[in-house]
Amino acid sequence: MPTAPRVRQGMTLGLVFGAVLFAGAASGAWGEPVRSLRAPSSSDAATPAPDLSGADLSPQEARQLVGASGDRWAAYLSPQQYADLTGGRYAGVGLTVDRAAGGPTEVAEVQPGSPADRAGIAAGDRLVTVDGVPAEQLPVTELVSRLRGGPAGSTVALAVAAGPGPVRELTLARAELAAREVEVERPHPGVVRIAVHAFTEGVGEQVRAAAAGARGVVLDLRGNSGGLVEEAVATASVFLDGGPVASYQAHGERRELAAAAGGDTAVPLVVLVDGGTMSAAELLAGALQDRSRAVLVGGRTFGKGTVQQPSRLADGSVLELTVGRYQTPAGRSPDGTGVQPDVPAAGEDPAALALKVLDGIGGPDGATPGTTAAPAGAAAP
């Protein structure tokens, strides 16, 4: 098991997805993610939670507090679970699932070498039941919780079917898996597509390295359930030269999040979003849209605009409790409404559409067709 990273007690913010976000509801990120078009109620977490840093609570007391809080995004994490969350590791079976509105729950991706992969589960298979409960009857957070549900070595019972084929019943033992937060591909010369599945430690620097020297960037935030807000801000800093990223209220105090100076404001940038783009990923997408730095392509984002702050308890475990809601630089709150794309996919392949839009706003040659290329360092329109 990895050594727990240093955590700034009471300071590091996690814009996390629900009470089981530690399970990683991100596409290919912390395992067992689910994309859902169901937006949370804007009435969630109306009362900011107190800062319980240093409180001497037993695990049972902490879990009872979470259950009684009425905060749908609250979570209790053991020291190792929090270290794994922020460091990009998780215990699971290696499934990424996709649920369209009103449709079945399908396997979107299987992590190579994972328990699901060894069991022969493949992308496109239908997830029928989890621990005997029909997948379609489970809310997003409960589905993720059941798929994670325990440490490495614990088991989960699944029923899956390939197309119209017979249903297979499997019992898989969870394993400790390394998350793949950032994936990079180069679909055309000079163009880089950077898929960010979750914001764990070091993601901002990975994005910076991947974007270096590119003449066009597609930042793919589809299925990204959020994570550490400081890493979302670090990612914004890759493409912004200072200025606001978001603001939020916590315990009656307004706090500002700002990009670092010196980002690349010239490279053409398209951001892919969908119903699985949540929380800190929505913060990032909204900031780039408000700052006229990127064109958003795809579908409306999830609509989680609340802020959770970790409170490190006396035994090293962590309580994630909602402290407020954030706003984009233009004063918008995505809570319950999401962020709308500039260019809806509307039945077209979003990845292909993103490349078309990128070409239209500058493309790999840095110039819109029929215009002269902007000089290096020029601000994006």
Whether 351 is in a domain gets the answer yes
Per the CB < 8 A criterion, the answer to whether 36 and 276 are in contact is yes
pLDDT of residue 270: 98
Per the CB < 8 A criterion, the answer to whether 286 and 233 are in contact is no
Place of tokens 């974007």: 211
pLDDT of residue 100: 66
Task: Return all residues near 101 (Cβ < 8 A) that are at least 6 apart.
Answer: 37, 38, 275
Whether 212 is in a domain gets the answer yes
Start-to-end Cα distance in the chain = 47
The tokens for 264 are 């690349």
Q: What is the pTM of this model?
A: 0.66
Give mean pLDDT, residues 22-48: 32
Give mean pLDDT, residues 216-227: 92
Whether 335 is in a domain gets the answer yes
Q: Are residues 205 and 64 in the same domain?
A: no
Report the CATH number at residue 69.
2.30.42.10
Give mean pLDDT, residues 38-64: 64
Which one of 138, 153, 178 terminates a domain? 178
Q: Name the least confident of 60-69, 208-217, 303-312, 367-376.
A: 367-376
Whether 310 is in a domain gets the answer no
Residue 10, pLDDT > 50, answer: no
Q: Are residues 228 and 341 in the same domain?
A: yes
pLDDT of residue 289: 98
The structural domain count of the chain equals 2
Whether 2 is in a domain gets the answer no
Please report which helix (H) or strand (E) contains residue 263, including its range: none
Per the CB < 8 A criterion, the answer to whether 140 and 34 are in contact is yes
Residue 265, pLDDT > 70, answer: yes
Whether 374 is in a domain gets the answer no
Q: Are residues 161 and 244 in the same domain?
A: no
Confidence band of 40 (pLDDT split at 50, 70, 90): very low
Active site residues: 279, 304
Give mean pLDDT, residues 205-225: 95
Report the CATH number at residue 262.
3.90.226.10
Q: Are residues 225 and 351 in the same domain?
A: yes
Please report which helix (H) or strand (E) contains residue 146, including its range: helix 140-148
Distance CA 72, CA 49 (A): 12
**Per residue in 308-364, pLDDT tens?**
878 899 998 888 888 888 999 999 999 999 999 999 998 899 999 999 999 999 866
Distance CA 325, CA 248 (A): 6
Q: Which residue has the higher pLDDT, 32 or 122?
A: 122
- Residue 110 CB coordination number (10 Å): 23
Buried b (16+ CB within 10 A) or exposed e, 215-244: bbbbbbbbbbbbbbbbbbbbbbbbbbbebb
Whether 319 is in a domain gets the answer no
pLDDT of residue 16: 35
Distance CA 260, CA 283 (A): 16
Distance CA 207, CA 202 (A): 9
Q: Are residues 38 and 157 in the same domain?
A: yes
Residue 34, pLDDT > 90, answer: no
Q: Which residue has the higher pLDDT, 381 or 154?
A: 154
Q: Are residues 71 and 214 in the same domain?
A: no
Q: Are residues 158 and 128 in the same domain?
A: yes
Q: By residue range, what is the domain housing residue 208?
A: 182-305+326-361
Q: Are residues 40 and 128 in the same domain?
A: yes
Residue 33, pLDDT > 80, answer: no
Q: Are residues 357 and 211 in the same domain?
A: yes
Select from 225, 224, 234 the least CA-distant residue to 204: 234
Select from 113, 91, 112, 108 the least CA-distant residue to 173: 91
**Per residue in 108-118, pLDDT tens?**
778 888 999 99
- Report the relative pairing of strands 34-35 and 95-99 from DSSP bridges: parallel
pLDDT of residue 252: 74
The tokens for 363 are 């493309």
**Per residue in 268-296, pLDDT tens?**
999 999 998 999 999 999 999 999 999 99
Distance CA 140, CA 125 (A): 18
Per the CB < 8 A criterion, the answer to whether 75 and 158 are in contact is no
Q: Are residues 244 and 165 in the same domain?
A: no
Whether 268 is in a domain gets the answer yes
Which one of 125, 143, 178 terminates a domain? 178
**Per residue in 235-257, pLDDT tens?**
999 999 999 999 987 777 888 99
Distance CA 34, CA 104 (A): 12
Q: Are residues 161 and 212 in the same domain?
A: no
Q: Are residues 282 and 335 in the same domain?
A: yes
- Residue 44 CB coordination number (10 Å): 17
Q: Residues, the chain, total? A: 381
> What is the share, in percent, of the chain residues with pLDDT greater than 90?
45
Per the CB < 8 A criterion, the answer to whether 174 and 91 are in contact is yes
Q: Which residue has the higher pLDDT, 231 or 308?
A: 231
Buried b (16+ CB within 10 A) or exposed e, 164-183: eeeeeebebebbebebbbbe
Mean pLDDT of the chain: 79
Confidence band of 366 (pLDDT split at 50, 70, 90): very low
